[in-house]
Structure 1
Amino acid sequence: MTLAIGLVIAGTTTTTVFADEHVVKKGDNLWDIANTHDVTVDYLMEKNELESSIIYPEQKLSVQETYKVKKGDTLYRIAKDNNVSVKELKEWNNLQSNLIVIGEELMIKAGSIAIENEQSQPVMASKQQKNKEKSSQTTASPAMKKSETPEGKTLTVTATAYTADCAGCSGITKTGIDLRNDRNAKVIAVDPNVVPLGSKVYVEGYGYAIAGDTGGAIKGNKIDIHVPTKKEAYAWGVRTVKLTIVE
């Protein structure tokens, strides 16, 4: 007799999803929180509808979900509904088989399928959209060239991304730049003790920019680059790049 995938024992038909929270403490940043809970920064931003990587003490962040199995569920269906794989569900919950029981709580994190789909979105953009984005980037920094190697003090930094295109965002940087008036403005948030505010910089993979903003989570060799949309912020994710202070 063959055991059917996701065999379920009869019982209640109620579905319950619990969200586990992390309360932000002073000095916390999304990168460290993501590592602690074995998820990605992109997952935390999307899960909590964050428009930038800036977080504040006492802020509550949902870091993962616990799904309560209901009648008729299978691992395949749960995985598909949550955009993860059956293999990941089994690894996260130490399952040795596909057997699940009604009322059992399954931990759900950011899966590789979800990450792959999210990262592929810019690639699937239409040719017209790509041309528009290319034109915007050229307008924002006409002197930028791929082969260009600017001179100046160079640092290795961790770079995340944010956008002013969000409900309730003021769009005004620490130095007074209004990002709402120019969504394509090349501006980065920095730790002024590392990169002086007002500096002209060159960021690998981003181009020339102005160090015009700060952030509570931007300490040491960390920066936050400004991009036009939330989708582009997700696509950027977290990267280790070279930053050169040009002037």
Structure 2
Amino acid sequence: MKNMLKNFTILYVEDDEMVRAGAVEYLSRVAKEVLEAKDGKDAIKVWKRHKPDIIISDISMPRLNGIDMASYIRSHDKDVQIIIATAHSDTEYLLKAVELQLVKYIIKPITKEKLIEALEKSIELIEDKSKFSLALSKNTKYNAFEKVIYEDDKEIKLTKNETLFLDLLAHHHTRVVKYEEIESAIWPYDGMSQDAVRSLVRGLRKKVPHNSIENVSGSGYKLHIYNK
């Protein structure tokens, strides 16, 4: 599992600073990047900015609990894997976990074994998604697992914003990604100008096959997948 997690970003949400610090320390040794948040509202801000692959969250937190946080995030993101932890087994929460397509509902205390089991399940679910290898042309592929473009097995370098933009399109390649979603993912605090997004797309189009990225007037952008 350690080798697999090195490709993923994890968001750990917990209001107890000591518990959060211990978990983050462990996860930082095995994951690509570990983000943290002290409650549900804080977590939503972090999720919007960084779009983590996996979220691990406590239920009972001030301002916004883990279930309500998960409900909000799931309504906007069908791909992120969410693991919920709680001190009590509650039937209502268990039913909600099913409804929100949560990976796991862990009863505290969270042991390393429970955490590993839940993370392994998350990895399995992520690997099952076809988005991990998207063909952009006969010789060009976007690997969403590594967040890298390969052309004839040669890696094409992307800027941070190009990576965020392309990954957003890849996650939702079956539909048009709206301008509001792009702004939330890339410019959540500064706001998005038309010049900024046009400049970003212009630079990215130089690195991907012709017609891979379509601008849908008045709506947003769509990634076109190559079909043989």
TM above 0.5: no
Higher RCO (CA-CA < 8 Å; seq separation 6+): 1
